[in-house]
A and B are shown apart, each in its own frame.
Chain A
Amino acid sequence: MDLRSALGLKQHRTLRGKYSPIKVVAVFLAPALILYLAFVAYPVVKVFWLCLFRWRGVTKGTEEFVGLSNFVRLYHDAVFWRALSNNLILFAFVLVVSVTIALFFSFFLARKIRGSGFYRATWLFPNMLGDVIVATTWLFIFHPTMGMLNYFLSLIGIDVGATPWLGQSSTALIAVAIPMIWKFMGLYIILFLASIQEIPRSFLDAARIDGANGWQEFFKITLPLIKPTIAVAAVFLMWNSFSVIFTYVKLLTEGGPHRATEVIPTYIYQVGFAYHEFGYSSAISVASFIVLFALASISTRMLMRRMLRGETGR
């Protein structure tokens, strides 16, 4: 199968079945394309260029070309590796926990249990709240002495005293992840729910006739069929995660204690804007892009196929 038919291009006919006038195309496409190239594509190119330089001062003209030496430094930078591993742990933790719990809820919510409309509306709400609002609220929930978490734990008989969840290395990273899970879970539940409800009834009926029980139904039918949706959810999290992670870490821990919650975007910010090491900061960006592109190249093809199918079907 050639690429064009794989992408569904052949069945997608366009206006009048021939090439559109170039002027028309330009009028419709140019405004968005120019802004996009200027503010998204150009900075990407620029960051790949900047990473080859080293600045002696903050002003222009003090940079010198140093080739790939920023990457050599990166390789020996323990903080970078710490930030990268924290970042990946955070991402994996948020993804695994929210997907697992969301699967549980969506599987059962698909069975039209009482109040499912209310649950859907309630659970999705945190997703609409800004990260600053969510982070501030959770900053107080985690507060050692007047926080809701420690108060609640003492109510159910677990006395943790004045544990500073965000202030000790052992718990800070997980504590930063909790508000993100709280925010994203609802979206995942709704996404999975819609995907489960798309499963043709005949599949389930056939399974039941063959005597499948609830567990088998879930693992043999539901899970394999909604795998693409889980992939889409992971992609959206990945796309979001750097901005989101930056906001939560900045407001909740500032990367501390002792870099226990340092992540890639906060480190890039610190090196670039506090230390004014523009070249080195760009090198960290480039390294992260390479990791991200590797993860994303697979998913992009998948998304493209969705876009080009020429219908709105799922």
Chain B
Amino acid sequence: MFIKRLRGSPVSLIVQLSCLVYSLVVLVPVLWSLISSFRSSLAFFTDPFGIPSPWKYQNFVYAWNQANVAIYFRNSVFVTTVSVTAIILLSAMASFALSRLRFRGRIAVLFLFISGLFVPAALLLLPLFLMLQDLHVLGSYIGLIPVYIAYSFPFTVFVLIPFFNAIPQDLEEAAFLDGASYYQVFWKVALPLAKPGLIVATIFNIFGIWNEFVLGYVLISKTSLKTLPLGLSDILMKQYYTADYGKVFAAIAIAMAPIIILYITFQRKIVGGSLTGAIKE
């Protein structure tokens, strides 16, 4: 009844209009920053909102080579690949144990992992810094990557456990009757069945690590090891003196490109996966 009443009514018009307006609020800043990556730094003062003429693609050449974006990009790819692979493998193993195995302390361990959702890394920067310093791994990936992995467990376990919970008991029992070991059950039965969850967890962890700023900001100081968000903030700080805005946005566009590609490719999974704990295909 309400649905029918809504069509063509003033309420419906207001709703349609607000949806359009909000879409513009989302899209315009993104498009503006993408277009501005082709703007000459002078044009930021004279014509900041127009279409750049000429399109200054040199911004990208400069950002990639002189402003070290090539290095940052390579570092981000490396750190993200290693971290996310480890996060997914280790979280899947832990989630399997917490969901399908029976042992004393199961609830306590689960509680420990889930309560990590309330432990913001930003409150622990100092102890982490001192700890990595004591271990002589401060300012290196051997320090940074394990930290990234550890702080991703609560969220990833939170996402994965419902998927492991949903695996039918019968399938496992059947595998055991066929003489499979626990490890075979994990690899051949549990992992394939939890695949939708693994995909969602992978996508969200890729975004998370690719974009991570706070931990890297404190734990990494060498330019040659900085990831994209850290490098971007450096470039941004530098432009306060040089006003090279075109290059800032070229760097932004380069950092955004993989996100846009990934988002468009996995759009359905991401929209569905945003329901984190609540999801199952």
Which of A's residues lie within 8 Å of B, judged by CB?
A: 7, 9, 12-22, 24-25, 27-29, 31-33, 35-36, 38-44, 46-47, 50, 104-105, 108-109, 111, 113-115, 118-133, 136-141, 145-146, 148, 151, 182, 186-187, 190-191, 194-195, 208, 213-214, 217, 232, 235-236, 238-243, 245-247, 250-251, 264-265, 268-269, 272-273, 278, 281-282, 285, 288-289, 292-293, 296, 299-300, 303-304, 306-312, 314
Expressed in whole angstroms, the minimum distance between the Cβ of B149 and any Cβ of chain A is 6
The interface stretch among B51-59, B63-71, B208-216 is: B208-216
Contacts of A31 in B (CB 8 A): 90, 93-94
Whether B117 pairs with A235 at a CB distance below 8 angstroms is: yes
**Cβ of B241 < 8 Å from any Cβ of A?**
no
Q: Chain A's nearest CB lies how many Å from the CB of B99?
A: 8
Can you list 9 A-B contacts with CB-CB less than 8 angstroms, sorted by A residue number?
Answer: A14-B101, A36-B113, A40-B124, A44-B119, A132-B228, A138-B29, A195-B278, A250-B233, A300-B117
Count of chain B residues near A, Cβ 8 A: 115
Query: Which residues of B from 1 to 39 have beta carbons under 8 Å from A?
Result: 1-3, 5-6, 11-12, 15-16, 18-19, 22-23, 25-30, 32-33, 36
Q: Does B78 contact A (CB under 8 A)?
A: no
- Cβ of A13 and Cβ of B169 under 8 Å apart? yes
B176 touches A39 (CB 8 A): no
Instruction: Return the contact of A182 from the options B25, B49, B176, B279 (Cβ within 8 A).
Output: B25
Interfacial chain B residues near A47, Cβ < 8 Å: 123-124, 126-127
B window 181-217: CB within 8 A of A: 182-183, 185-186, 207, 210-214, 217
Shortest CB-to-CB span from B268 to chain A, Å, is 9
Report whether A312 and B279 are in contact in the complex, using a CB–CB cutoff of 8 Å.
yes
Which 8 pairs across A and B sit closest by C-beta, in order of nearness? A130-B211, A39-B150, A242-B120, A14-B102, A28-B97, A242-B122, A32-B94, A43-B127
Cβ of B165 within 8 Å of any chain A Cβ, yes or no, is yes
Kindly provide the distance from the CB of A218 to the nearest chain B CB, expressed in whole angstroms.
Answer: 10
Question: Does residue B61 face the partner (Cβ distance < 8 Å to A)?
Answer: no
Q: Which of B245-268 contact A (CB under 8 A)?
A: 245, 248, 252, 255-256, 259, 262-263, 267
Which of A15, A138, A268 meets B100, CB within 8 Å?
Answer: A15
Main secondary structure of the interface of B (DSSP, over half): helix
Q: Which A residues are in CB contact (< 8 Å) with B162?
A: 306-307, 311-312
Alpha-carbon separation in the docked complex, A296 to B116 (Å): 11
- Closest Cβ neighbor of A287 among chain B residues: B123
Whether a CB of chain A sits under 8 angstroms from the CB of B131 is yes
Least CB distance, A82 to chain B, in whole angstroms: 18
With A25-B103, A33-B94, A36-B116 already in contact, the answer to whether A272 and B111 are too (CB < 8 A) is: no
Whether B77 sits at the interface, judged by CB under 8 Å, is no
CB-defined contacts of B263 to chain A, threshold 8 Å: 125, 128
Known: A19-B103, A128-B207. A304 touches B232 (CB 8 A): no
Expressed in whole angstroms, the Cα–Cα distance for A123 and B24 within the complex equals: 10
| Chain A residues with CB below 8 A from B115, complex form | 296, 300
Contact residues in B for A132 (Cβ distance below 8 Å) = 211, 213, 228-229, 232-233, 236, 255
Query: Known contacts A28-B93, A132-B211, A300-B118; is A108 also within 8 Å of B15 by CB?
Result: yes
CA distance A41 to B112 in the complex (A): 9
B101→A24 contact, CB < 8 A: yes
Q: Is B150 touching A38 in the complex (CB atoms < 8 A)?
A: yes
Complex contact B126–A272 (CB within 8 A): yes
Report the Cα distance A236→B125, complex, angstroms.
Answer: 20
A88 to chain B minimum Cβ distance, whole angstroms, is 15
Contacts of B114 in A (CB 8 A): 300, 303-304, 307
Q: Which residues of A contact B256 (CB under 8 A)?
A: 129, 133
Q: B60 within 8 Å of A by Cβ?
A: no
